[in-house]
């Protein structure tokens, strides 16, 4: 059975003390024994705080993800972080393809395909983000855009590797804007994505892949969005920085 997942993307927020404090508050609210067997909670602090975060969640079921990884094994890439460096400090998951990486750092589908391969070679699980911009939504181009992001970023993988991917549909017009896709819009896209995966990898893989929704999920709208058949949880930005909001969202999944 596929997992329900709530993942918090902290982006470039939270220094060391704030990281410790937020994890302490989340730990207090979310007791290990309260999480259902098929539910996962993931937080993604900044690179420099990953090791501390891993230590701080060691007694809970909360998992820690990195927000990015470089595609090369190692070498002269000043300021970058390799997959091997992440695994060496205990990271097991990485977010790839976030719209902010695609937009501000010019990460293309082709580059993301390389990053996906590098991460998998180092046994990192991947939360792979994709989604259309407002223009594509308005011009009814959104299915095409998503189809090509999946094909170019992920469909080079074989079945076994694809099974290590968590998908996150994040319509760019809903990220950090306060505007959420309606539960029906989310369901429509998630069903389309699952159908595409069925075509590429078969029904078993399609049924087992978790597809998260991301874009202005808050305690007030989480339950309704998560109630949709093909929505398996959320990737949370702003609301993940507040322990009360984040834990309320976790309890809605």
CB atoms within 10 A of CB 185: 19
Strand 93-96 and strand 125-130: the pairing is parallel
Cβ distance to ligand PEP smaller for residue 210 or 216: 216
- 170 is known as an active-site residue: yes
Cβ distance to ligand PEP smaller for residue 145 or 206: 145
Residues with Cβ within 8 Å of residue 18, at least 6 apart in sequence: none
- Tokens for 200, please give them: 């590429």
Cβ at position 175, least distance to ligand PEP in Å:
4
Q: Which residue's CB comes closest to ligand PEP?
A: 237
- 98 is known as an active-site residue: yes
Could you list the residues that contact ligand PEP (CB under 6 A)? 9, 170, 175-176, 214-217, 235-239
Cβ at position 138, least distance to ligand PEP in Å:
19
Cβ at position 236, least distance to ligand PEP in Å:
5
Cβ distance to ligand PEP smaller for residue 176 or 202: 176
Q: Where are the beta strands (DSSP E) in the chain?
A: 4-9, 39-44, 63-66, 93-96, 125-130, 165-169, 211-214, 233-236
Cβ at position 57, least distance to ligand PEP in Å:
20
Q: Which of 108, 109, 121, 106 minimizes the C-alpha distance to 72?
A: 121
Cβ distance to ligand PEP smaller for residue 65 or 206: 65
- Catalytic residue, candidates 98, 100, 132, 190: 98
How far is C-alpha 190 from the chain's CA centre? 14
CB atoms within 10 A of CB 95: 23
How far apart, in whole angstroms, are the C-alpha atoms of residue 106 and residue 109?
10
- Catalytic residue, candidates 63, 100, 132, 170: 170
Active-site residues, by number, are 98, 170
């Amino acid at each position: 059975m596929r997992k329900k997942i709530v993942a918090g993307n902290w982006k470039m927020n939270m220094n060391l003390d704030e990281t410790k404090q937020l994890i302490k508050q989340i730990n207090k609210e979310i007791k290990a024994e309260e999480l259902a067997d098929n539910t996962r909670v993931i937080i993604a602090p900044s690179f420099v705080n990953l090791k501390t975060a891993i230590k701080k969640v060691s007694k809970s079921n909360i998992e820690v993800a990195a927000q990015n990884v470089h595609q090369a094994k190692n070498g002269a890439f000043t300021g970058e972080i390799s997959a091997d460096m992440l695994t060496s400090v205990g990271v097991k998951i990485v977010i790839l393809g976030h719209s902010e990486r695609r937009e501000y750092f010019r990460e293309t589908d082709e580059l993301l395909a390389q990053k996906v391969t590098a991460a998998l070679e180092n046994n990192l699980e991947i939360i792979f983000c994709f989604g259309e911009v407002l223009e594509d939504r308005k011009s009814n181009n959104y299915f095409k855009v998503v189809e090509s992001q999946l094909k170019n970023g992920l469909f080079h993988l074989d079945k076994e590797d694809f099974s290590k991917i968590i998908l996150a549909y994040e319509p760019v017009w809903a990220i950090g804007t306060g505007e959420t896709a309606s539960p029906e819009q989310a369901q429509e896209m998630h069903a389309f994505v699952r159908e595409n995966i069925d075509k590429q990898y078969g029904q078993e893989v399609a049924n087992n892949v978790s597809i998260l929704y991301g874009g202005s999920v808050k305690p007030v709208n989480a339950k309704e969005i998560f109630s949709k058949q093909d929505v398996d949880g959320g990737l949370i930005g702003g609301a993940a920085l507040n322990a009360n909001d984040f834990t309320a969202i976790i309890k809605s999944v």
